[in-house]
């Protein structure tokens, strides 16, 4: 019966793969072990530079010592937590309302889903939320956002297909201010095929909403898909050129072996990680917890 009802064995994390639990005895932390460890970090999408830095820090003071699996785990987790702690910050809330959040990211990264989840959380906290479906070129994206709006109990402002997103953003600002909304989230297009167009589109949105509030947008949230691994690094670079990215949401962290990319992002850009997506349901948005993340990554 045990064999039937037993939980499946947990997936071994990085260290499980380096030293199987049966080899729990101590092993010298030598160059060979550090190299193996570095390969594992790179395979988990931590990026070569960040992996090398982490390994160098672990080597310092421990090279040549005999270490147990648990000790290696602790050293690695401490390094990951040290890098991640400064970026683990919830979305900052400003006293002035409506707080305007511009949501950017490539198509498929999880923008729509994240907006829906955030709207639901803010609603649950008693906040008055408005969503603007600013990707006016994708009818399917607008429909999806309407579905999420219904789920979250939040109005979604739309405009005819192909119309100017900046004009919708302006109308949404007007409505959010008139309604005394606490939060306005503006979805945007994620077509990177023509960066010049997208840059112009985003800067025009910013220009018009600043006519209504010179401090807007208060946050520019870049949504990234964790399953794209190191590709996310490139996306941050591109979107930083297109808009003043102020923070990240990392989606699809459920069931990916590429979570190491978060360490790479934190190490390279230092942008706050406001939340993580851990599933497709409305409640599957969690605060980013460095300890929990490090434990799951290291295993």
Q: Which residues bind ligand GDP (CB under 6 A)?
A: 105, 107-113, 141, 144, 190, 251-252, 254, 277-280, 284
Contacts of 230 by beta carbon, 8 Å cutoff, 6+ apart: 45, 47, 261, 264
Question: What's the closest the beta carbon of residue 295 comes to ligand GDP, in angstroms?
Answer: 19
Structure token pair of residue 184:
């306005």
Nearer to ligand GDP, 42 or 293 (CB): 293
Residue 187 marked in a binding site: yes
Question: What's the closest the beta carbon of residue 37 comes to ligand GDP, in angstroms?
Answer: 28
Question: What's the closest the beta carbon of residue 278 comes to ligand GDP, in angstroms?
Answer: 6
Nearer to ligand GDP, 19 or 154 (CB): 154
Cα separation, 30 vs 63, whole angstroms: 6
Residue 254 marked in a binding site: yes
Question: What's the closest the beta carbon of residue 235 comes to ligand GDP, in angstroms?
Answer: 12
Q: Are 168 and 134 in contact (CB under 8 A)?
A: yes
Residue 11 marked in a binding site: no
Of all residues in the shown chain, the one whose CB is closest to ligand GDP is: 277
Nearer to ligand GDP, 49 or 280 (CB): 280
In 3D, which of 294, 239, 229, 204 has the Cα closest to residue 103? 239
Nearer to ligand GDP, 55 or 221 (CB): 221
Residue 61 marked in a binding site: no
Structure token pair of residue 35:
């190299």
Nearer to ligand GDP, 72 or 103 (CB): 103
Residue 96 marked in a binding site: no
Q: Are 164 and 134 in contact (CB under 8 A)?
A: no
DSSP string, 240-272: HHHS---EEEEE--TT-S-TTHHHHHHHHH---
Q: Are 64 and 34 in contact (CB under 8 A)?
A: no
Nearer to ligand GDP, 73 or 217 (CB): 217
Residue with tokens 């509030």: 213
Question: What's the closest the beta carbon of residue 277 comes to ligand GDP, in angstroms?
Answer: 2
Q: How many CB atoms lie within 10 A of CB 95?
A: 5
Residue 191 marked in a binding site: yes
Question: What's the closest the beta carbon of residue 188 comes to ligand GDP, in angstroms?
Answer: 10
Residue 174 marked in a binding site: no
Cα separation, 266 vs 230, whole angstroms: 12
Feature table: binding site for GTP: 105-112, 187-191, 251-254
């Amino acid at each position: 019966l045990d064999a039937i009802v037993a939980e499946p064995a947990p997936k071994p994390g990085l260290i499980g793969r380096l030293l199987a639990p049966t080899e729990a005895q101590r092993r010298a932390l030598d160059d060979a072990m550090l190299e193996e460890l570095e390969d594992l970090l790179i395979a988990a999408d931590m990026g070569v530079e960040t992996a090398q830095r982490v390994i160098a820090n672990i080597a310092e003071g421990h090279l040549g010592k005999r270490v147990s699996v648990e000790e290696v785990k602790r050293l690695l987790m401490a390094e990951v937590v040290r890098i991640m702690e400064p970026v683990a910050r919830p979305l900052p809330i400003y006293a002035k309302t409506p707080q305007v959040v511009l949501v950017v990211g490539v198509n498929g990264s999880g923008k729509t889903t994240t907006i829906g989840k955030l709207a639901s959380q803010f609603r649950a906290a008693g906040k008055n939320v408005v969503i603007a479906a600013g990707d006016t070129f994708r009818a399917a994206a607008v429909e999806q956002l309407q579905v999420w709006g219904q789920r979250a109990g939040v109005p979604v402002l739309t405009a005819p297909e192909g119309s100017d997103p900046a004009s919708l953003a302006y109308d949404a600002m007007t409505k959010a201010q008139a309604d005394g909304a606490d939060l306005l989230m503006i979805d945007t297009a994620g077509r990177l095929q023509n960066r010049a167009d997208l840059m112009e589109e985003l800067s025009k949105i910013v220009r018009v909403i600043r006519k209504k509030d010179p401090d807007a947008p208060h946050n520019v949230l870049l949504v990234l898909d964790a399953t794209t691994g190191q590709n996310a690094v490139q996306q941050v670079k591109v979107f930083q050129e297109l808009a003043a990215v102020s923070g990240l949401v990392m989606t699809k962290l459920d069931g990916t072996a590429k979570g190491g990319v978060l360490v790479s992002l934190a190490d390279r850009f230092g942008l706050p990680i406001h939340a993580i997506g851990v599933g497709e349901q409305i409640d599957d948005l969690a605060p980013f917890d460095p300890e929990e993340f490090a434990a799951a990554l290291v295993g």
